[in-house]
Amino acid sequence: MVRARFAPSPTGFLHVGSARTALFNWLFARHEGGQFLLRIEDTDAGRSKPEFLNEILDSLRWLGLNWDGEIEFQSKRLEIYRTIAEKLLSDGLAYLDGKAILFKVTPGEVINVEDIIHGTIQVNTLEIKDQVLIKSDGTPTYNFACAVDDSEFKVTHVIRGDDHISNTPKQLLIYRALKLVPPKFAHIPLILGTDRSRLSKRHGATNLNDYRKIGYLPEAMVNFLSLLGWAPGGDREILSVEQIVKEFDLAKVGKTGAIFDVTKLSWMNSQYLKDASLETLMPLVQQVLQERGWWNPSTGSGQGTDPVWIGKVVDLYKSRVETIEDFCEQTQGFFTDQIPFDEQAVQLRLKQPDTSKRLSVFADRLEKLPTWDSASIEAACRVLADELKVKAADLIHPTRIAVTGRAVGPSLFHVLEVAGKDRTINRLRSAATSLCVS
């Protein structure tokens, strides 16, 4: 049975590159009908923190990467590593250097690494110095613990970033010394920024949790990460998790670095937001509204306290936004009186002659409407435009800016219906007196 694994160190938040590694292991295991194991490499007691571990586990759950069996912790296996290292010591394959145990590397030997993605990689042991197995503080080194654990837990495939290629021949030497059968290796390309340098904070957010907070959906993130180095063919980009699992093939993973393009991710997320149910989006929206202080469900404070009404705003805008944070930016005028006006739009649309008068008259007409719905609002707008002998756009554009602060958005008449009669009329009159030229 295929057994793949993900082995993070809880010394920081989950990097998007590590998340992609976890995803590829999970996809491969599920595609092959195998198992996906989770091992925590926490032997660095000084840097390993519970908060990092919790964030890593939460992020994996958020992505839907369920693991099989119990989580294994290297910190609970220190005696096992020492026992095996001392066996190599007694066999004359290792030696003591103070309190450390080092493995003897025979120089001049060629090690062949058979890699599923890169093919055969040859490394001369002249390039490898004697390897520390157990450090002087009693903890194992990465390469030693990794080889021991992958063997003991019957890992069949090690899928990791190609920055680990240099570690593989060192681990193969340990496998051979312990008379163990090594797993198959697949080193996937690193994730790069748009300038093709290694992804770093200067390219933007690098931790998965940052994208989660901004309001990217897990389905979109899985879809996006799966295409960083792998492609299903046919120029397809939007795929369900089920489709990706069905078609995922390690042999189709490329050798060159994959570009992490946030613009592409945002576009992909917008496609998922557009099709997402209100049931999916409402908890995400309400959480961000609470964080911004725009809505408090416990006290009923805020511009919009009714979840049903919030749902109407979500339905109105979800096809026009890229993230939940983007939704809040575009809809701030619905949830707070602090409207961030587009100054360029104000100059262009509200500083024109007669705009103040038109908005005031339009507010009076709307106040007299017996029914507040988009059809009635539109009819009133077009009738008034005819009476004033202006284009309907000469009312629509300044009205949108007066009510929402923005130059673009969904159908104005649907926006005003959801915004509500009192809010619409008050903002039209306020703009007429404070924003428009006299």
> In the sheet that 157-161 helps form, which strands lie side by side, from edge to edge?
119-124, 110-115, 184-188, 157-161
Secondary-structure percent of the chain, ordered helix, strand, coil, rounded to 5: 50, 15, 35
The helix or strand, by DSSP H or E, that contains position 2, with its residue range, turns out to be: none
pLDDT at residue 202 in the model: 64
pLDDT at residue 305 in the model: 62
Summarised one tens digit per residue, pLDDT across range 269-316 is: 999 999 999 999 999 999 999 899 887 776 544 445 688 899 999 999
Beta carbons of 74 and 41 less than 8 angstroms apart: yes
pLDDT at residue 198 in the model: 79
Cβ neighbour number for residue 32 with a 10 Å cutoff: 17
| Separation between Cα atoms, residue 316 and residue 66, nearest integer Å | 34
Residue among 201, 186, 263, 191 nearest 229 (CA): 191
| Separation between Cα atoms, residue 262 and residue 278, nearest integer Å | 25
Residue spans per domain, the chain: 276-336, 339-438
3-class secondary-structure state, position 86: helix
pTM assigned to the model: 0.92
Q: Please report, to the nearest 10 degrees, the dihedral formed by the alpha carbons of residues 70, 76, 80, 82 taken in order.
A: 150
318 as an active site residue: the answer is no
User: Who contacts 120 (Cβ-Cβ below 8 Å, separation ≥6)?
Assistant: 112, 113, 114
pLDDT at residue 178 in the model: 97
Cβ neighbour number for residue 187 with a 10 Å cutoff: 23
The helix or strand, by DSSP H or E, that contains position 103, with its residue range, turns out to be: strand 100-103
CATH 1.10.10.350, applies to 339-438:
yes
Query: Which of 49, 76, 129, 201 does the annotation list as catalytic?
Result: 201
Residue type at 179?
Answer: K
- Give the burial class of 60: count Cβ atoms within 10 A of its Cβ; 0-12 exposed, 13-18 middle, 19 or more buried: buried
Q: What backbone torsions phi and psi does residue 243 show, to the nearest 5 degrees?
A: -65, -40
Alpha helices in 368-411 (DSSP H): 374-388, 393-404
Q: Residues of the chain whose pLDDT is less than 50? A: 300-303
pLDDT at residue 203 in the model: 56
Residue type at 399?
Answer: T
HEC-encoded secondary structure of 150-213: HHHCCCCEEEEEHHHHHHHHHHHHHHHHCCCCCCEEEEECCEECCCCCECCHHHCCCEHHHHHH
